[in-house]
Structure 1
Amino acid sequence: MGRTKLAAKNITFGYVGQLATALMSFILRTIFIARLSRNLLGVNDLYSNILSLLSMAELGIGTALNFSLYAPVARKDTEKVKSYMQMYRKAYHTIAIVVAVIGLALTPFLKYFVKKPGEITVRDMTLYYLIFLFNTVSTYFVSYKYSLVNAEQKNYIQTNINTITKIITVFFQIIILLVIPNLYLYLLADAAVQLIQKLFVNNYLNRLYPYLTDKDVTPLSTEEHSEIWRKTRALVLHKVGDVARLQTDTLIISSFIEVGMAAVVGNYTMVTGTIANFVNIIFNSVISGFGNLIATESKEKQFKTFKVYRFFASWVYGFSACGFFILLQPLIYLWIVQKYGPDWMLGNLAVYLFLTDYYFKGDRIVLSNYKTAAGVFEQDKYLALIQGIVNLVLSIVLVQKIGLAGIYVGTVVSGLIANITKPIIIYKVCFDKSSISYFADSAKYIITEAATILALYMLGTVVMKNITFLTFAMMFVIVTVVFNAVFWIIYHKTEEYDYLKGIVLRKLGKA
């Protein structure tokens, strides 16, 4: 099966899985808000965030090893794959122990991360956290095996397993919330289902790739070890910086504002994250395809493919960002605020800064994915660290001066550093080209996006003068039609559009 067909299969299953999990998650969070307190929801979101921070212990080893697997998988070199997987297994078992130790060491300090906990005792804080920690640590004993599946461009296997697990988990959690609304039972249901899933995955992947259980494995050479650790050392800085920039907002909110505010923000991030996950399925599904493309095609072919995906990302992320700028606040109002009160809505400034970061994050997604597939880790190894420091300093200083909006100022500024520097590095290293054309295209896309948002915002103040489900639906249709019409009118004569049009027509059997 070729790159395009595998990517299409990954995207199809990805969308089915994401649609199912998004719907279940929306229902679950709505019931959680109704049956348990805002503070408990905030603690739930905070601990998810803290455990994401602890994943920093992985320090890029998985990314480096995934990159190393592309070539032997493409060559069908089973012995070399076995060697890499043996190293991967040892590394991840060590990581599990490190995460467990660090996680337990954080336990006495949890009370300092939860400002205004209300009815939640320190004992409860600790026990909730230990359940989260168990789920995270146990994952490392199995997750490394997915790297082989993904290197073969069969991401849909992992997607399907995760989707089924999520549906089963949410089903039991909804029953618990409706019958016995108790956070302990809620978290233990998740832990039990996930443990069963991990046991199943371990057995299933061993049967799918029986050579993973072979004892006769040739160790990697000194040169191969050195290559992996060289990339890993560079990725350590990337990982630390990314964690400091992308995964500290909830912790800062809970520590400096209040834990309940983390729950309010979590509603917004769930909505935008759900849409981003739909969009990212397309681009994340082709990372392994990029890896195969880089291993087998010329730089000119690689560059043309990159430009097409970059154009597509700008269109899709631009559309979703535009929709959020116009419709996110009304959606939150209809979903939660009109029933539970204005305490569940964020101020416009914080939301618009949050969405600005959403757009620019999407603008660089193809850069990041291509860089990962190409193994370009060392050239910008200090960039993410600088971003993380800038984000932490600005966020912590400004949250104490202007509140929540200050956190997102730090997020936006630190993110823009990558939007400026990554294109320069990738164009030079991967394509031997100047990045001027990239920034010229970026300027066109941003101007198109900003002008369209402004026009639609003015129209929205008239259409949604009274926010109802009908006026919201009307505005959704208007945003969809207007944004895509504008983008088509401006860009339908470009080479990138023609290439995408050709793919769609071939899929429909018309070309």
Structure 2
Amino acid sequence: MNTDSRTKNAVMNAFFGIGMQLLVVLCQFVGQTVFIKILSAEYLGLNGVFSNVLQFLSLAELGIGGAITFSLYQPLAEKDENMIRAIMRLYKTIYTVIGAIILVGGIVTSYFLDYFITAPTSLGNIQILFILFLMNSVVSYFFAYRRTLLIADQRGYVDSLNQGLFKILQVVLQSVFLIMTKQYAVFLVIQIFTTILSNYRVYSQTNKLYGFLKNKNEYQKIPRDVVSKLKKNAVGAFSSKIGTIIMFGTSNILISKFIGLAAVGVYSNYMLLLNSVSGLLNRALNSVSATIANYIHSREPKKTNEKFFDYMYVVNFFSLMFGFVLAVVLNPFINLWLGENFKLSEFTVALLIFNWVLNLMRNTVLSFMTAYGTYWETRWKSVAEALTNLVVGVILISTTTMVVNAVIVASIIVGIGINAWSEPYILLKKNISFNKRKYVMRYGFYVSIAIDISLLTIYSPVHVKSNLLIIVFASVVSVLIFTILFMLVTMQFEENKRFRKMFMGKIARTVSVRCAKKLDLQDSRVDDE
């Protein structure tokens, strides 16, 4: 088991997580470019709709993954190998059953795809293509459960490295074979192949890191209280999963049904870029999730208050900074990459960025909620979130001329009307030491900045040209401008003062060490003389 310090684990997870995510983003960008050039916007839209349909099928997972991760924190902290073996055996059994359920459910669903997709006949046999897409998800359940152990043990960097390397392999093979064959089916077969290889490698690595998993002796019986808590968290996680899927998994389906696959393709390009950036940020933030849980489980509740607001400061700084950069360069980049025909209006992009930043800002509360295991407490919130988003989305897209904007506005309404207050409320009930008034003030301040950033997309006094060097230069300048402005407007925040003190302390220590080395060197020279 992992015996390294929390700081070292967090740094390792962040370093490899960010590095591999950068490679994955580059690969996805290259892969999407080849995909669009060789196939068409309709195929890209079809790929997006398949992903959304599959998200609904993954409800069979019941959110058990998060519940299992939470149940592993305690035995890992206590180095209870027998309990870890028992939990992982239970996890394996559950995931094998889930894989079979998704396979059967997917095959049945394939006969009803016409209800979700209005596709031209030139795309071929949609049912066969969907089943190939389905198989990629099914095969992941047979070894992927081992990834949970790595993440819970603060070794997410092992998984990040594995996923990054196999993603590179996948994109290279898919690009080469797409150019050679121009067949979407071949693209999907390669995806299945690399998923199997990636999951098997994780299985092999965990066997080496946790040799006791290979022990075939009798398994310890999991105590009733652990099983009871696991069931409770699984039910709560299931509700949460419904909310997540309907919030983020219905967009492409609604756009396909009411507008068309080509519109899904255009929307998918923006979501690829936004998800790539958020994936990069989430990699860095998620790298400390297990560290937060470990900290909470070994400290008094009151001591976590300062850490919470420090983390909130960091999360919102990066969320808003990335939003600021995207407000300046997103449309010029799309124009450079794909051309004028693949651009959305400035108003739509402003809505996209505002909704995107709002969701990133939730990371502070969500990370602490995961660490506290608040799955049960969020069950009704997630159902309300899901139903509101779906109903509002359908009403707006079917009764107005808002088209793609309808889907985004529905998500914003849910984000502000439900998530903005319910998630903090649940967390604050879990730890009453958190300063409620301070949280409300901070959140309102950050949201006001997010609104200003979104408006910049429409009313920016500077219009960036669709030139790669200019876009890169504009991005760098945007980062510098935002950082300076953010530091100035938060100068009186306690979090800002703590980070400045920590930063200046490190500089002082570095200078003192170097001076000491120079003095030692001079003394040694005097002694020699």
Pick the TM interval, shorter chain: over 0.9
CA contact (8 A) 2:305 2:435 kept: no
Q: Give the root-mean-square deviation of aligned CA atoms.
A: 2.0
- Say which is worse superposed, 191-200 or 467-476, in terms of deviation: 467-476
**Partner-residue secondary structure (3-state), 2:510:** coil
2:35 is aligned to: 32
Q: Distance in 1 between matches of 2:104 and 2:504?
A: 54
Q: Distance in 1 between matches of 2:455 and 2:64?
A: 44
1:59 is aligned to: 62
CA contact (8 A) 2:346 2:457 kept: no
Count of aligned positions = 503
1:387 has 2:388 as partner: no
1:412 is aligned to: 412
Distance change >3 Å, CA 101–CA 452, structure 1 → 2: closer
1:230 has 2:232 as partner: yes
1:370 Cα offset (Å): 0.8
CA contact (8 A) 2:63 2:234 kept: yes
Q: Distance in 1 between matches of 2:458 and 2:410?
A: 25
1:362 is aligned to: 360
1:371 is aligned to: 369
**Partner-residue secondary structure (3-state), 1:119:** helix
Q: Distance in 2 between matches of 1:149 and 1:65?
A: 12
CA contact (8 A) 1:89 1:144 kept: yes
**Partner-residue secondary structure (3-state), 1:376:** coil
1:498 Cα offset (Å): 3.5
Q: 2:44 aligns with which of 29, 41, 46?
A: 41
1:477 Cα offset (Å): 3.5
Q: Distance in 2 between matches of 1:253 and 1:20?
A: 30
Q: Superposed, which structure 2 residues align to 1:454-473 within 5 Å?
A: 454=455, 458=459, 460-464=460-464, 467-473=466-472
Q: Superposed, which structure 2 residues align to 1:120-135 within 5 Å?
A: 120-121=123-124, 124-135=125-136
Identical counterparts, % of pairs: 25
1:461 Cα offset (Å): 3.9
1:394 Cα offset (Å): 0.8
- Say which is worse superposed, 478-487 or 381-390, in terms of deviation: 478-487
Q: 1:314 aligns with which of 313, 316, 324?
A: 316
1:279 Cα offset (Å): 0.9
CA contact (8 A) 2:71 2:230 kept: yes
Q: List runs of 5+ in structure 1 lacking aligned partners.
A: none
1:201 Cα offset (Å): 2.5
Q: Superposed, which structure 2 residues align to 1:52-451 within 5 Å?
A: 52-121=55-124, 124-215=125-216, 216-338=218-340, 342=341, 344-400=342-398, 401=400, 402-416=402-416, 417-451=418-452
Q: Distance in 1 between matches of 2:102 and 2:440?
A: 40
CA contact (8 A) 2:354 2:454 kept: no
1:155 Cα offset (Å): 0.2
- Say which is worse superposed, 133-142 or 322-331, in terms of deviation: 322-331
Output the amino acid matched with 1:160.
Answer: L
Q: Structure 1, residues 269-297: CA drift from partner, whole Å, max 9, x if none?
A: 11111111111112111110111011101
Q: Distance in 1 between matches of 2:118 and 2:467?
A: 35
Q: Distance in 2 between matches of 1:474 and 1:306?
A: 34
Output the amino acid matched with 1:15.
Answer: I
Distance change >3 Å, CA 502–CA 153, structure 1 → 2: farther
Q: Distance in 2 between matches of 1:504 and 1:285?
A: 21
1:490 is aligned to: 489
CA contact (8 A) 1:242 1:385 kept: no
**Partner-residue secondary structure (3-state), 2:374:** coil
Q: Structure 1, residues 123-147: CA drift from partner, whole Å, max 9, x if none?
A: x211111111111111111111111
CA contact (8 A) 1:319 1:483 kept: yes
CA contact (8 A) 2:323 2:357 kept: yes
1:337 Cα offset (Å): 1.4
1:428 Cα offset (Å): 2.6
CA contact (8 A) 1:424 1:434 kept: no
Distance change >3 Å, CA 407–CA 449, structure 1 → 2: closer
Q: Structure 1, residues 448-488: CA drift from partner, whole Å, max 9, x if none?
A: 44446656864x44443x54445434432432222111101
TM-score, L = length of structure 1? 0.93
Q: Distance in 2 between matches of 1:507 and 1:35?
A: 52
1:501 Cα offset (Å): 4.2
- Say which is worse superposed, 61-70 or 85-94, in terms of deviation: 85-94
Q: Structure 1, residues 409-466: CA drift from partner, whole Å, max 9, x if none?
A: 11111122111221122123124445221110112223344446656864x44443x5
Q: Structure 1, residues 92-114: CA drift from partner, whole Å, max 9, x if none?
A: 11111111121111010112222
CA contact (8 A) 1:39 1:118 kept: no
1:300 Cα offset (Å): 2.1
